């Protein structure tokens, strides 16, 4: 992934092109090949118009897109991560449906084992690299994520529809959001102990003073 951050998108594109050109020279030197068909450019921010200038790899222009997938995370243009959450929820629901014959309350498998199956096969889908995208998503996306776990637990326990989610199990399974917040604080704490300054600064920069519906990134304070 190549990245450039600048107020002026034209300057950012010029810097990005320099990175690509330098890397391309190194790739050619070592007789490697970069697949331009799987490469996309994304201008993150509120700008609705795609830049006229295009990034080129060996004279091949790279198309500007509204989203890109990097290491399994769908990064959309405004960085609201809505598409990524939608993808996670969809895959988790598919897995839950596939496991329904052994997760439902009529299964002969003990409840403790069924809960373990949920923790192993479904919950990790919702928690995958959540320390990176969790602090950026909206409340509605959090509700969609939590709903997947709530339905799974109710399927396993056959809880009455009037029973609150946090009263079904004793002790209850921690919510996805609380688990993400805990993992994020641990992650940022480890970063703060790093011997490298650029790693120590991750997640500690002040939030920009703009009006946004997205919550501020989580920060770890000692």
pLDDT of residue 204: 61
- Long-range (24+ apart) CB contacts under 8 A made by 182-186 are 183/127, 183/130, 183/131, 184/130, 184/131, 184/134, 184/135, 184/218, 185/218, 185/220
Tell me how crowded residue 29 is: count the other CB atoms within 10 A of its CB. Answer: 8
In angstroms, the CA 40 to CA 68 distance is 7
Q: State the pTM of this model.
A: 0.78
Look up tokens 């029973």; give the residue.
Answer: 163
- Long-range (24+ apart) CB contacts under 8 A made by 188-191 are 188/218, 188/219, 188/220, 189/220, 189/222
- Show pLDDT as tens, one digit a residue, over the chain (222 residues): 787 777 788 888 888 889 888 988 888 889 888 888 888 888 888 777 778 888 888 888 888 888 889 889 999 988 889 999 999 999 999 999 999 999 998 899 999 999 999 999 999 999 999 988 988 899 999 999 999 999 999 999 888 877 887 777 767 788 899 999 999 888 888 888 888 888 887 766 544 444 455 555 554 444
For the record, the structure tokens of 104 come out as 């439902």
pLDDT of residue 203: 67
For the record, the structure tokens of 27 come out as 């790739």
In angstroms, the CA 133 to CA 187 distance is 13
DSSP state for residue 54 in the 8-state scheme:
-
pLDDT of residue 89: 96
pLDDT of residue 209: 45
In angstroms, the CA 176 to CA 107 distance is 25
Residue 68 phi/psi, 5-degree rounding, is -145, 150
pLDDT of residue 217: 52
Residue 30 phi/psi, 5-degree rounding, is -100, 15
In angstroms, the CA 71 to CA 68 distance is 10
Residue pair 76/66 in contact by the 8 Å Cβ criterion: yes
148 CB-contact burial (10 Å; exposed 0-12 / middle 13-18 / buried 19+): buried
């Amino acid at each position: 992934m190549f990245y450039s951050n600048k107020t002026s998108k034209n300057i950012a594109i010029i810097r990005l092109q320099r990175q690509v050109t330098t890397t391309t020279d190194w790739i050619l030197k070592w007789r490697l090949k970069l697949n331009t068909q799987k490469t996309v450019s994304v201008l993150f921010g509120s700008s609705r118009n795609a830049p006229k200038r295009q990034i080129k790899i060996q004279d091949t222009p790279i198309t500007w897109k509204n989203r890109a997938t990097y290491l399994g995370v769908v990064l959309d243009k405004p960085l609201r991560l809505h598409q990524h959450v939608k993808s996670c929820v969809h895959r988790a629901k598919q897995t839950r449906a596939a496991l329904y014959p052994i997760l439902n309350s009529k299964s002969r498998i003990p409840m403790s084992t069924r809960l373990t199956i949920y923790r192993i096969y479904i919950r990790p889908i919702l928690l995958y690299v959540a320390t990176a995208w969790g602090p950026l998503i909206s409340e509605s996306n959090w509700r969609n994520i939590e709903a997947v776990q709530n339905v799974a637990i109710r399927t396993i326990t056959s809880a009455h529809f009037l029973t609150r989610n946090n009263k079904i199990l004793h002790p209850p399974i921690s919510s996805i959001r609380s688990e993400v917040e805990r993992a994020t604080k641990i992650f940022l704490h480890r970063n703060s102990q790093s011997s490298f300054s650029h790693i120590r600064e991750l997640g500690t920069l002040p939030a920009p003073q703009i009006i946004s519906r997205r919550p501020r990134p989580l920060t770890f304070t000692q």
